[in-house]
Amino acid sequence: MKRFTDLADFPRAEVQQLVALAQRLETQPEPQALAGKVLGLLFMNPSLRTLASFQAGMARLGGSSLVITPGQGTWQFETRDGAVMTGAAAEHIREGLPVLSSYCDALGIRAFAAGEDLEDDLADKRFKAMAALVDRPLINLESAINHPCQALADWKTLDELPGSGRRKFVLSWVSHPKALPLAVPAATVHMAAMRGMDVVVLRPEGFALPPAIMDKARRAAADSGGSVAETADRAEALAGAHVLYAKEWGSTRHYGDELADQAQRGSLKDWCLRDDWFAGAAPDCRVMHCLPVRRNSAIADEVLDGPRSIVLRQAYNRMPAQMAVLYRLLKPGA
Ligand code: CP
């Protein structure tokens, strides 16, 4: 494996092998597997789980890591081609990234969507421009349109749930005070479809996932025997659901228009996940969220603190899942 930037780059069997490796490293630790290896982590945007779980995972495999957060102790990065650099940024990624790569055996990059132009973000232009400057094994730590590490950990979390046969997976939009990127919803709907689940995207009008995201998920479902549908009808979506994955994202009707987005989400405060959403769901329906989550805005305390929530296990699984990715990228012959 040379790069881990999209779950769609791998056949389903290879993803299952990665999850099996994550489980093995959990039960049979290999504290010297990556001794002497260095992982660089470049965060253009904030993080708790991704940063801490990669550093912890690398240490548990015997390697070390360094973290760069431009503008916070290191030079602020300019990312635009052709920029006249008279502003705050003292270093261009054209120098910064190759320099950073040269110190490391693998590099992870987090670069969120600019949130201005939907087509640019769907094409993942910012991340791809940065990835092109890296000549080392590369990991996507969340880009405009993908979060493969979250998706791999979520795959493992779903494997741990009881039950077999066809499972209904609902990805539901939930309320948030401002527009958030499409990376997690895009990665999640694809991951669940790739698993062969019956996937329903539940979202209010104006928040439909773009055709490029839905079509990618539908292609994965066609290969796996799953299905992908969407609706704005909560009762229809939740009927018989085994998993409800809650996530916030920005209006796709008003992408990049903050005021119009705000006006649209202003009337959607009842999209805070509460116990009464589960009236028609399977009795053991579980709740997932990638975190961070705003309590009582996106998900009510009663759900997060109740027996349906598996969000902490989901967050824990980031570490073994990423250890499996690091092992595949950096251990010769693995
Ligand atoms: N889910 C996730 O990626 O969390 P962080 O943004 O804290 O890394």
Bridge partner residues of 38 (DSSP): 64
Q: Are residues 187 and 297 in the same domain?
A: yes
What confidence score (pLDDT) does residue 103 get?
Answer: 98
Sheet holding 106-110, edge to edge: 3-4, 138-140, 106-110, 38-43, 64-68
Is the CB of residue 152 below 6 angstroms from any atom belonging to ligand 1? no
* 155 within some domain: no
What confidence score (pLDDT) does residue 334 get?
Answer: 72
Q: Are residues 61 and 118 in the same domain?
A: yes
User: Looking at the whole model, is its pTM more than 0.95?
Assistant: yes
Q: Are residues 104 and 205 in the same domain?
A: no
What confidence score (pLDDT) does residue 164 get?
Answer: 87
What confidence score (pLDDT) does residue 60 get?
Answer: 98
- The confidence band for 297, taking pLDDT boundaries of 50, 70 and 90, is very high
Give percent above pLDDT 70 in the chain. Answer: 100
Q: Are residues 128 and 216 in the same domain?
A: no
Q: Are residues 183 and 260 in the same domain?
A: yes
Q: What share of the chain is helix, strand, coil (3-state, %, to 5)?
A: 40, 15, 45
Is the CB of residue 317 below 6 angstroms from any atom belonging to ligand 1? no
Q: Are residues 234 and 299 in the same domain?
A: yes
* 100 within some domain: yes
Distance from C-alpha of 290 to C-alpha of 91, rounded to nearest angstrom: 32
**Residue 333: is its pLDDT beyond 80?**
no
Distance from C-alpha of 150 to C-alpha of 118, rounded to nearest angstrom: 22
Domain that holds residue 185: 161-315
- What is the CATH classification number for the domain harbouring 166? 3.40.50.1370
27-76: pLDDT as tens digits:
999 999 999 999 999 999 999 999 999 999 999 999 999 999 999 989 99
Q: Are residues 134 and 165 in the same domain?
A: no
CB contact set of 255 (below 8 Å; sequence gap of 6+): 115, 117, 118, 121, 261
What confidence score (pLDDT) does residue 332 get?
Answer: 74
* 82 within some domain: yes
Q: Are residues 132 and 172 in the same domain?
A: no
Is the CB of residue 296 below 6 angstroms from any atom belonging to ligand 1? no
Calculate mean pLDDT across residues 217-229. Answer: 98
* 154 within some domain: no
Number of domains composing the chain: 2
Q: Are residues 142 and 200 in the same domain?
A: no
258-292: pLDDT as tens digits:
999 999 999 999 999 999 999 999 999 999 999 99
- What tokens were used for 115? 């949130």
The CA 292 to ligand 1 mean position distance, Å, reads 6
124-166: pLDDT as tens digits:
999 999 999 999 999 999 999 999 999 999 999 999 999 988 9
* 156 within some domain: no
Q: Are residues 198 and 143 in the same domain?
A: no
80-112: pLDDT as tens digits:
999 999 999 999 999 999 999 999 999 999 999
Distance from C-alpha of 320 to C-alpha of 21, rounded to nearest angstrom: 8
Calculate mean pLDDT across residues 18-24. Answer: 98
Give percent above pLDDT 90 in the chain. Answer: 97
* 291 within some domain: yes
Q: How does DSSP assign 159-200, residue by residue?
A: HTSS--S--EEEEEE---SS---SHHHHHHHHHHHHHT-EEE
* 189 within some domain: yes
Q: Are residues 33 and 143 in the same domain?
A: yes
Q: Whose CA is closest to atom 1 on ligand 1?
A: 290
Is the CB of residue 188 below 6 angstroms from any atom belonging to ligand 1? no
Q: Are 171 and 238 in contact (CB under 8 A)?
A: no
Determine how many CB atoms are found less than 10 A away from the CB of residue 177: 12
* 152 within some domain: no
- By most ligand atoms within 8 Å of CB, the mutation choice from 42, 45, 49 for ligand 1 is 49
What confidence score (pLDDT) does residue 280 get?
Answer: 98
Q: Are residues 307 and 325 in the same domain?
A: no
What secondary structure, in 3-state letters, does 59-124 show? Answer: HHCCCEEEEECECCCECCEECCCCCCCCCCCCEEHHHHHHHHHHCCCEEEEECCCCCCCHHHHHCC
